[in-house]
Amino acid sequence: MAKDKRLIPQSERYARWGYAFIVPWVIGFLVFTFIPMVFSMYLAFTDYDTINPPKWIGFSNFVKMFTKPEMWHSLWITVKFGIMSLPLGLVAGFMLAYLLNMKIPLMKAWRTIFYLPAMISGVVVAMLWRGLFDDQYGMINFVLRTAGLRGPQWLLDPKYTLYCFLFLSVWGAGGGMVVYLSGLQSIPTAFYEAAEIDGCSKFQQLIYITIPQMTPIFFFNLIMGLIGMFQYFAEPMVLTKGGPADSTMFYNLYLYRHAFQFRNMGYASALAWFLFVIVLILTLLVFKSSDLWVFYESEVKK
Amino acid sequence: MILVVFFLVILNLFLWAFAISDSVGVMTKRRLSRRRKIMATIIAVVAALSILYPVTSMVGGSLSSKQVSRTVPEVKPGNFFNVIKVMARNLVPIEGKRINIKQNHIDDAVSTLNVKNIRLETAPYSVYEMEIDGKLMHVAKIGKAGSQWIYLNERDLDEVHLAVPASEEQRVKAVKFTWTNYPDALSKGDFGRYVINSIILVVINTIGALISSTLVAYGFSRFKFKGRNWMFIVLLSTMMLPAQVSLIPSFIIYTKLGWYGTYLPLTVAAYFAASPWNVFLMRQFFMGLPLELDEAAKIDGCGPMGILMKVIVPQSTAVMLTITLSTAVFWWNDYFYSLIYLQDQKLYPVALGLTAFDAKYFNNSSLKAAATVMMLVPPIALFFFFQRFFIQGTVISGVKG
């Protein structure tokens, strides 16, 4: 409501200009989002291989999706990987942000290095790491050998493939750092001053001030990260293609396979809609939790 | 397991540093904070080194040339079999799929290879998926010759594939320093073309994103019209929409339009404000610009378009740079969309091109390393010089979004 006051009263003529300016988005929304969504809804109830016309098959795609184990398998892989990697990435990203918040010299260089994994393409990330996973010449197994352990065949043994991606995600934890850093910088210094007067150590300040103040951002990033898990594609595609034995068949990869390799467009649309429902639930979770961070924002920004 | 241990070590290091810096309570506050800073710097160095390790090893690989000796199976002259050597690493088994191949065909295929010690598998043969020159094909494993597996192409049984197990692929004789891998990678195997393609995509998309998001954000921030608020809410809600929902129908529509295999599916949407993040970012920025200047321009006789061009745009170089950079980096790195919409290798942008390059030069790791380094340097360099703008974009979309 405060926003409306900022606007100059515009005549009817200017309202028309307003419509004119947003026309590109309206067209874009209709053509690239809305119509495809409706079409996708229809496709989910059909059998369509892009050559023959779509055939209406009712709920069979959904029945197939929920009764066959493959979809549940890839959903489980995705969620399992999220549960393993997101907390690790969160702690690692927060640590990096905490480090940078201490105003150490060469800030610009550190920030570039820590943020580097988030800037490069997933394909490059996969290429960088593939060599390190080699069971004979790879760095990881070299370290393990030196420590007297026998390293596994990382990318070939279905028991270990998912852990390879864990390396990648912890390595890329700097991506969340920037948001944490801005969160850290917006915690009022008065809190720390008060704590210092009360004789709190820096460690106590971290536990009792910084982390509680940061929880909303943590939570938000966790949910966003989980949504991001469902878009995870380039790294598994380049490193393992979902194999061996489907051990890295992430949801998006599974969807891609059905849509663009097997051309099961109907089934893939059903998969996409199920994905949409999951993401919607996660998003609602963020908004439900917004009480937490509305309080936080009003508290911080005067 | 190992990772957890590794992680705990880092965690310990971190806490330990604070414990030390805190336990020395007698120190004056200034010295204490100096000590903490030194500790923090040390940890930062350790973290930076571990993040940089894969990159530096790649750069090192790209600057060296390895002389390798390989056991290459000889092919009898004058036969119709096409023998292709691939690396076992690129093969992915297809679960539960087995095929039968006629025995005489297998004998033919095996006789093509002038190698001894052939051990054949028994039918039905298990099927693997592998990528050759960027194309996925299914091959059946029929046996082993020495240390190499023999595969037959499922579609075209006249194609024999020999797969060398990854570890025995090459024996490194000597490593030499050289920078020639970079020009070689650019001139060989189309990598130079991939770079140019990517630049084209980046430029077209950036221009589109800038123009369309400026117009739309201007419309949303400076004009009052019916339905503006709910339209903006719709725009915001599309931010959370997973791309997959509209992906499949879009693909079908583009294919029906005959756009499959061209840059059109990758670029046209940018001109219609496809990224709600950009519009949101821009609108937030415009809302913060003083209205007094707009009014002054209006008194001077500027129309809405004049105000946009003469007042708003000159003040918004910062946000425009943010959008330019994020769009450019996104399209430079794009893999998914180009994988779906492009077929002709000559049109591949770098990310997709890199995978094709990787399959083609699977046995020249230095050349691949040079290509990888060339792909990763531009975004990092951009980030180093324009950090502020990148971070603004990330923080606004991350915290306020």
Give the model confidence (pLDDT) of A146-199 as tens digits.
887 777 777 777 788 888 888 888 888 888 888 888 888 888 888 888 888 888
CA-nearest residue to A296 within chain B is: B399
Distance CA A11, CA B374 (A): 54
Q: Which of A105-119, B11-25, B45-59, B330-344 has the lowest mean pLDDT?
A: B11-25
In a domain, A53, yes or no: no
Mutate which: B39, B95, B223, vs A, most A CBs within 10 A: B223
> Which pLDDT score is estimated for B9?
64
Question: Which residue of B333, B339, B390 is in closest CB contact with A120?
Answer: B333
Q: What amino acid occupies position B387?
A: Q
In a domain, A89, yes or no: yes
Place of tokens 């360099």: B381
Are residues A102 and A29 part of one domain? no
pLDDT at B224 exceeding the cut of 90: no
Question: Which residue of B18, B44, B92 is in closest CB contact with A244?
Answer: B92
The residue count for chain A: 302
DSSP secondary structure string for all residues of B46-112: HHHHHHHHHHHHHHHHHTEEEEEE--PPPB-TT---EEEEEEGGG-EEEEEEEE---HHHHHHHHHH
ipTM: 0.84
Distance CA B70, CA B148 (A): 12
Q: CB–CB of A212/A40 below 8 Å? A: no
A177: closest CA among A231, A119, A106?
Answer: A119
Residue A230 in tokens: 């469902």
Q: What amino acid occupies position B234?
A: V
A126: closest CA among B388, B335, B35, B378?
Answer: B335
Question: Which residue of A39, A92, A203 is in closest CB contact with B249?
Answer: A39
Are residues A178 and A38 part of one domain? no
Are residues A151 and A22 part of one domain? no
Confidence of residue B197 (pLDDT cuts 50, 70, 90): very high
Distance CA B123, CA B113 (A): 20
Q: Give the residue-averaged pLDDT of B289-299.
A: 85
Q: Give the residue-averaged pLDDT of B325-345.
A: 89
Chain B, residues 27-86, CB within 8 A of chain A, namely 36-37, 40-41, 43-44, 47-48, 50-55, 57-58, 61
The gap from C-alpha B316 to its chain's centroid, in whole angstroms, comes to 30
Distance CA B373, CA B367 (A): 10
B63: closest CA among B358, B380, B370, B384?
Answer: B370
Distance CA B74, CA A295 (A): 73
Q: What amino acid occupies position A261?
A: Q
Are residues A112 and A87 part of one domain? yes
Are residues A29 and A87 part of one domain? no
Are residues A251 and A205 part of one domain? yes
Interchain proximity B231–A114, CB inside 8 Å? no
The DSSP bridge partners found for residue A47 are A55
Judge whether B115 is closer than 8 Å to chain A, CB to CB: no
Distance CA B92, CA B130 (A): 6
Q: CB–CB of B152/B139 below 8 Å? A: yes
Q: Which chain B residues touch A273 with a CB distance below 8 Å?
A: 245
- Model confidence over A108-150: pLDDT tens digits? 888 888 888 888 888 998 888 888 887 777 778 888 888 877 7
Which range of residues forms the domain containing residue A28? Answer: 4-10+18-43
The DSSP bridge partners found for residue B128 are B93, B139
Instruction: Please count the CA atoms within 13 angstroms of the CA of A115 that sit on its side-chain side.
Output: 27
Query: Which residues have a Cβ under 8 Å from the Cβ of A245 and sit 6 or more positions away?
Result: A158, B93, B95
Distance CA B255, CA B272 (A): 19
In a domain, A51, yes or no: no
Q: CB–CB of A37/B238 below 8 Å? A: no
**B130 phi and psi angles, rounded to 5 deg:** -145, 160
In a domain, A48, yes or no: no
Of B106 and B398, more confident:
B106
Identify the CATH number of the domain in which residue A187 sits: 1.10.3720.10
Q: How far is B137 from chain A (nearest CA, A)?
A: 11
Query: Which residues have a Cβ under 8 Å from the Cβ of A6 and sit 6 or more positions away?
Result: B287, B291
> Which pLDDT score is estimated for B332?
92
Judge whether A284 is closer than 8 Å to chain B, CB to CB: no
> Which pLDDT score is estimated for B202?
94
Confidence of residue A298 (pLDDT cuts 50, 70, 90): very low
pLDDT at B326 exceeding the cut of 50: yes
Q: Which chain A residues touch B52 with a CB distance below 8 Å?
A: 113, 116
Judge whether A40 is closer than 8 Å to chain B, CB to CB: yes
pLDDT at A1 exceeding the cut of 70: no
Q: Give the residue-averaged pLDDT of B275-287.
A: 87
> Which pLDDT score is estimated for B211?
92
Residue B318 in tokens: 């910062």
> Which pLDDT score is estimated for B170?
46
- Model confidence over B347-389: pLDDT tens digits? 899 988 888 888 777 667 788 888 888 898 899 888 888 888 8
> Which pLDDT score is estimated for B17?
58
Are residues A108 and A36 part of one domain? no
Are residues A275 and A137 part of one domain? yes
Query: Which residues have a Cβ under 8 Å from the Cβ of A52 and sit 6 or more positions away?
Result: none
Chain B, residues 319-358, CB within 8 A of chain A, namely 329, 332-336, 339-340, 350-352, 354-355, 358
Q: How far is B76 from chain A (nearest CA, A)?
A: 33
Domain map (residue ranges) of chain B: 2-62, 82-169, 185-400
pLDDT at A301 exceeding the cut of 70: no
Of B238 and B104, more confident:
B238
Place of tokens 């004119």: A20
- Model confidence over A7-63: pLDDT tens digits? 545 455 677 888 888 888 999 888 888 898 898 889 889 888 877 888 888 888 888
> Which pLDDT score is estimated for B11?
64
Q: Which chain B residues touch A166 with a CB distance below 8 Å?
A: 3
B279: closest CA among B362, B397, B377?
Answer: B397
Give alpha helix (H) positions in B228-300: 228-239, 244-256, 264-267, 276-287, 291-299
Q: How many CB atoms lie within 10 A of CB A259?
A: 24
Distance CA B391, CA B401 (A): 14
Chain A, residues 181-240, CB within 8 A of chain B, namely 182-183, 201-203, 206, 217, 220-221, 224, 227, 230-231, 233-234, 237-238, 240
- What Cα–Cα distance (Å) separates residue B147 from each residue in A91, A96, A286, B268, B367? 45, 46, 55, 50, 25
- What Cα–Cα distance (Å) separates residue A243 from each residue in A137, A253, B148, B181, B336? 21, 11, 21, 32, 18
pLDDT at B206 exceeding the cut of 90: yes
pLDDT at B307 exceeding the cut of 70: yes
- Please give the CATH number for the structural domain made up of B185-400: 1.10.3720.10
In a domain, A49, yes or no: no
The CA angle A73-A75-A81, to the nearest 5 degrees, is 100
Q: Give the residue-averaged pLDDT of A209-230.
A: 82
Size of interface A-B (CB pairs under 8 A): 308
Of A285 and B14, more confident:
A285
Residue A289 in tokens: 């939790």
Are residues A162 and A270 part of one domain? yes
Distance CA A21, CA A19 (A): 5
CA-nearest residue to A255 within chain B is: B244
Are residues A197 and A95 part of one domain? yes
- Model confidence over A226-242: pLDDT tens digits? 888 888 888 888 888 87
Are residues A245 and A190 part of one domain? yes
Q: CB–CB of A268/A255 below 8 Å? A: yes
Are residues A30 and A103 part of one domain? no
Interchain proximity A233–B335, CB inside 8 Å? yes
Q: How many CB atoms lie within 10 A of CB A13?
A: 9
Mutate which: B4, B245, B250, vs A, most A CBs within 10 A: B245
Q: CB–CB of A267/A65 below 8 Å? A: yes
Q: Give the residue-averaged pLDDT of B230-242.
A: 85
Interchain proximity A95–B18, CB inside 8 Å? no
> Which pLDDT score is estimated for B96?
63
A65: closest CA among A252, A273, A276, A282?
Answer: A273
The DSSP bridge partners found for residue A35 are none
A221: closest CA among A274, A162, A181?
Answer: A181
Residue B394 in tokens: 């990330």
Distance CA A221, CA A176 (A): 8
Judge whether B360 is closer than 8 Å to chain A, CB to CB: no
Distance CA B247, CA B269 (A): 12
Place of tokens 């390798």: B68
